[in-house]
């Protein structure tokens, strides 16, 4: 099935085989309601343990098992409602279900907030005694050790309960941003390459930016960012609210900064964040050279921001149907072995994926699900090379989740955000290696090389720029600065000037791009795209060069979940992110690829 170029489909027009199978979670909304009520009952049950959590080793085990059951159920309730809403954000039924589920989740957090403080009331020797007496508790050893690690940041029972109660309010900035950007905002029409009037959407914006027609790129660029400029003060307010929320929680929990608070959740030192920014700053000359190559290759007097996404090789027009994309990805990931490919096929054939854009659908792509569900993927597929890599990327997330959930108990059945982008990007690295080795001519090789360099630009350099923007605005606010639209826009434009160099025209409209980026509401998330890409570059090379031994280590990594701290999990796979070497090596590879393209252009 294929979307007509000038039409945004209604969801009812899309075949079932191209929609994710959310019925496998709940056959209907009535079944969802039953679990919703079940959560309330579980909340009442767990509330009876307040003040009794550590009366005995057996009681502690009962509480932890009941809490696991409670969170497994509320996760199903919340994730289902949100994914249904993402199918069409205009749907009032699922707006209501999502709101109810979110409120219930806040209630669950509040009613379980007594558990950690009560565990922390134990002396370490008493906890060790509990672990010795109760065999069933031993599965929770790492979890309990991690709780003790954060002891100085855990508050009293009443304070923890109060923090839990403001959870719903604290989500408001992200919710308002999402509704404004995805549901309420409308972009203007532009004329496409054939002169047809086409409405700009989140889904077709990047394909337009990849257009060979510079007029189309420029009009799409200006249409999108002039629209965001009109709402700049509202977006500044939502982002300011998010930063203030992060500041509030970091101060309440006695951290030195919002950054420290965000990274401590996964036991990541802030030096990892700073090392990334510093390493990229030392390697900006390679980016400047790449921009000069792009300017020369496109035969432009001036290189503008709207020229960044169009392929350098103009006479190669790679359009890939969804079915063909699956075949290419399957071949590219063969080095991961038959077991991995079998899971990939299951995902393709069992409706893990919601493929096409429709009216009201959430933009972009993601992998989601729960411990008990399929590891679903949301796409807005257009027939571009970039979208082929998006499928490989999101399936990397989902297969990581699949292995983890099949191997680990619920308490360790997810993985930290520090590790979250590694499996996805390893898939991309293996896929680009396969495609470069199987190109039919030099032009296609140049096209793919350009694409690989774009992965470096967008995943290492661009995400590091995002990370630096987050760090700057948080530090500015923490020092008493006001995050006005003018300050945010000025700061963002200066960073673009720094990262792209003086030989590129930094158009005024790019100053408002910060208003478009949802990841700025994810609390220092984006730096992990860059560290993940660097880790993936190392792992993919190990897989290609060492074969089965490296694959076995890698599959072990995918199975590890939260059973150890992320730095340790990654070390076992063969990458040490406590030093700058993986970042430096990745940027060294980027420099080599830039030099290679320089010779070929």
- Read off the CATH number of the domain in which 116 is found: 1.20.140.70
Mean pLDDT, rounded, for 165-187? 91
Of 42-46, 169-173, 566-570, which has the strongest mean pLDDT? 42-46
Residue 161 domain-assigned (yes or no): yes
pLDDT at position 188 over 90: yes
pLDDT at 479: 97
> What is the token pair recorded at 84?
């249904």
50: left (phi over 0), alpha (psi -120 to 50) or beta: beta
69 domain residue, yes or no? yes
Residue 236 within a domain: no
Looking at per-residue pLDDT, the higher value among 6 and 377 belongs to 377
Percentage above 70 pLDDT, the chain:
99
Q: Are strands 197-199 and 189-191 parallel, antiparallel or unpaired?
A: antiparallel
* Average pLDDT of the segment spanning 87-105: 96
Is 546 annotated as catalytic?
Answer: no
Residue 346 predicted with pLDDT over 50: yes
For residue 492, the number of C-alpha atoms closer than 13 Å in the C-beta half-sphere is 25
CB 350 within 8 A of CB 21: yes
- Tell me what pLDDT residue 491 has: 98
- SS3 at position 356: coil
Q: What are phi and psi of 356, to 5 degrees?
A: -100, 155
Burial bucket for residue 559 (CB in 10 Å: 0-12, 13-18, 19+)? middle
Residue 327: Cβ within 10 Å count: 12
As a whole number of angstroms, the distance between CA 217 and CA 308 comes to: 10
Q: Residue 4 — pLDDT band, cuts 50, 70, 90?
A: very low
Q: What average pLDDT does this structure show over 344-358?
A: 97
* The pLDDT value given to residue 3: 45
How far is residue 424's CA from residue 532's CA, in Å, rounded to a whole number? 9
Cα gap 206→202, rounded to integer Å: 8
Task: List phi, psi (to 5°) of 130.
Answer: -60, -45
Where in the sequence is the domain holding 35, given as residue range(s)?
A: 11-170
Report pLDDT digits (tens) over 496-525: 999 999 989 999 999 999 999 999 999 999
Classified as helix, coil or strand, 577 is coil
pLDDT over 90 at 314, yes or no: no
Cα 275–chain centre separation:
21
User: What pLDDT shows up at residue 7?
Assistant: 73
With H, G, I as helix, E, B as strand and everything else as coil, classify residue 376: strand
The average pLDDT across 523-545 equals 92
Q: What is the pLDDT of residue 478?
A: 98
Residue with tokens 């996760």: 75
What is residue 353's three-state secondary structure?
A: strand
Q: What is the per-residue DSSP string for 479-491?
A: TT----HHHHHHH
d(CA 312, CA 293): 9
**Cα dist. 28→24, 62, 103, 104, 364 in Å?**
10, 32, 21, 19, 26
**DSSP for 312-345?**
S-TT------HHHHHHHHHHHTGGG-HHHHHHHH
Alpha-carbon torsion, ordered 355, 356, 357, 362, to 10 deg: -10
Entry pTM: 0.78
How do the residues of the chain divide into helix, strand and coil, expressed in percent and rounded to 5? 70, 5, 25
- Specify the pairing of strand 366-368 against strand 504-505: unpaired
Structure confidence by residue, pLDDT tens digits, 289-302: 999 999 999 999 99
Band the pLDDT of 167: cuts 50, 70, 90.
confident
Are the C-beta atoms of 279 and 468 separated by less than 8 Å? no
d(CA 586, CA 569): 20
Q: Which of 27-41, 309-323, 571-585 has the highest mean pLDDT?
A: 27-41
Rounded Cα distance, 59 and 119, in Å: 11
Low-confidence winner among 146-150, 339-343, 458-462, 490-494 (lowest mean pLDDT): 146-150
What is the rounded CA–CA span in Å between residue 515 and residue 336?
A: 39
Classify residue 155: in a domain, yes or no: yes
In a domain, 110, yes or no: yes
- Given the residues 118, 394, 421, 468, the one annotated as active site: 394
Is the distance from CB of 130 to CB of 57 less than 8 angstroms? yes
Q: 452: which 2 tokens?
A: 């690989």
Q: Over 80: is that where the pLDDT of 317 sits?
A: no
Structure tokens at 135: 């065999």
For the stretch 411-424, pLDDT in tens is: 999 999 889 989 99
Domain count, the chain: 1
Residues 6+ apart with CB under 8 A from 586: 456, 460, 533, 534, 537, 538
Whole-angstrom Cα distance, residue 531 to residue 277?
11
Show Cβ contacts of residue 230 under 8 Å, excluding neighbours closer than 6 positions.
none
Q: Who contacts 399 (Cβ-Cβ below 8 Å, separation ≥6)? A: 340, 343, 344, 347, 375, 423, 558
- What are the structure tokens assigned to 415, written together? 């993985």
pLDDT for res 338: 96
317 Cβ contact list (under 8 Å, min separation 6):
212
Residue 370 belongs to a domain: no
| Residue pair 536/570 in contact by the 8 Å Cβ criterion | no
Per-residue confidence band for 315, with pLDDT thresholds at 50, 70 and 90? low
Phi, psi (degrees; rounded to nearest 5) at 523: 60, 70
Identify the weakest region by mean pLDDT among 75-79, 369-373, 437-441: 437-441
Average pLDDT over residues 14-21: 96
Compute the mean pLDDT over every residue in the chain, rounded to the nearest whole number.
93
* Residue 552 resides in a domain: no
Q: Is there a domain that residue 42 lies in?
A: yes
Q: What would the mean pLDDT of 263-284 be, rounded to a whole number?
A: 93
pLDDT surpassing 50 at residue 445: yes
What pLDDT sits at residue 5?
47
3-state secondary structure of 59: helix
- Rounded Cα gap, residues 582 and 534, in angstroms: 6
pLDDT of residue 6 exceeding 70, the answer is no
CA atoms of 497 and 502, how far apart (whole Å):
7
């Amino acid at each position: 099935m294929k979307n007509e170029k000038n039409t945004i489909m209604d969801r009812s027009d899309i075949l079932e085989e191209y929609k994710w199978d959310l019925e496998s979670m709940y056959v209907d909304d009535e079944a969802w309601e039953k679990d919703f009520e079940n959560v309330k009952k579980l909340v009442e049950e767990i509330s009876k343990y307040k003040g009794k959590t550590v009366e005995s080793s057996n009681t502690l085990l009962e509480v932890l098992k009941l809490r696991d059951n409670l969170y497994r159920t509320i996760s199903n309730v919340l994730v289902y409602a949100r994914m249904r809403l993402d199918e069409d954000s205009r749907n009032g039924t699922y707006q209501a279900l999502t709101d109810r589920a979110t409120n219930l989740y806040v209630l669950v957090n509040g009613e379980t907030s007594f558990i950690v403080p009560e565990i922390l009331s134990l002396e370490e020797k008493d906890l060790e005694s509990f672990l010795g007496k109760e065999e069933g508790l031993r599965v929770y050893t790492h979890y309990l050790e991690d709780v003790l690690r954060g002891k100085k940041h855990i508050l009293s029972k009443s304070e923890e309960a109060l923090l839990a109660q403001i959870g719903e309010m604290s989500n408001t900035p992200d919710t308002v941003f999402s509704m404004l950007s995805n549901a309420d905002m409308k972009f203007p029409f532009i004329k496409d390459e054939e002169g047809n009037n086409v409405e700009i959407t989140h889904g077709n914006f990047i394909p337009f930016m990849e257009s060979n027609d510079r007029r189309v790129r420029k009009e799409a660029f200006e249409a999108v960012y002039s629209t965001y400029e009109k709402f700049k003060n509202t977006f500044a307010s939502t982002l300011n609210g998010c930063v203030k929320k992060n500041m509030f929680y970091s101060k309440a929990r006695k951290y030195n900064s919002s950054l420290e608070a965000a990274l401590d959740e996964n036991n990541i030192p802030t030096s990892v964040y700073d090392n990334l920014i510093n390493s990229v700053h030392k390697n900006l000359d390679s980016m400047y050279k790449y921009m000069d190559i792009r300017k020369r290759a496109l035969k432009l007097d001036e290189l503008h921001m709207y020229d960044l996404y169009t392929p350098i090789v103009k006479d190669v027009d790679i359009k890939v149907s969804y079915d063909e994309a699956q075949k290419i990805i399957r071949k590219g990931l063969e080095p991961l072995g038959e077991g991995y490919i079998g899971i990939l096929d299951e995902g393709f054939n069992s409706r893990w994926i919601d493929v096409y854009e429709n009216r009201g659908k959430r933009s972009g792509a993601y992998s989601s699900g729960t411990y008990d569900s399929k590891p679903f993927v949301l796409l807005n597929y257009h027939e571009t090379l970039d979208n082929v890599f998006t499928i490989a990327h999101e399936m990397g997330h989902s297969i990581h989740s699949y292995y983890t959930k099949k191997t680990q108990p619920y308490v360790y059945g997810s993985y930290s955000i520090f590790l979250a982008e590694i499996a996805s990007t390893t898939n991309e690295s293996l896929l680009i290696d396969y495609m470069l080795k199987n190109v039919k001519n030099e032009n296609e090789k140049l096209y793919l090389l350009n694409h690989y360099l774009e992965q470096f630009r967008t995943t290492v350099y661009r995400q590091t720029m995002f990370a630096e923007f987050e760090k700057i605005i948080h530090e500015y606010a923490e020092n008493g600065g006001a995050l006005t639209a003018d300050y945010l826009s000025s700061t963002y434009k200066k960073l673009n000037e720094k990262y792209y160099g003086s030989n590129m025209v930094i158009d005024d409209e790019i100053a408002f791009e910060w208003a478009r980026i949802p990841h700025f509401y994810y609390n220092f998330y984006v730096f992990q795209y860059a560290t993940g890409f660097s880790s993936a570059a190392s792992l993919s090379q190990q897989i290609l060069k060492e074969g089965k031994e490296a694959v076995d280590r890698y599959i072990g990594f995918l199975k590890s979940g939260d059973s150890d701290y992320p730095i340790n999990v990654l070390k076992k796979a063969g990458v040490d992110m406590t030093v700058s070497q993986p970042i430096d090596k990745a940027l060294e590879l980027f420099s080599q690829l830039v030099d290679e393209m320089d010779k070929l252009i």
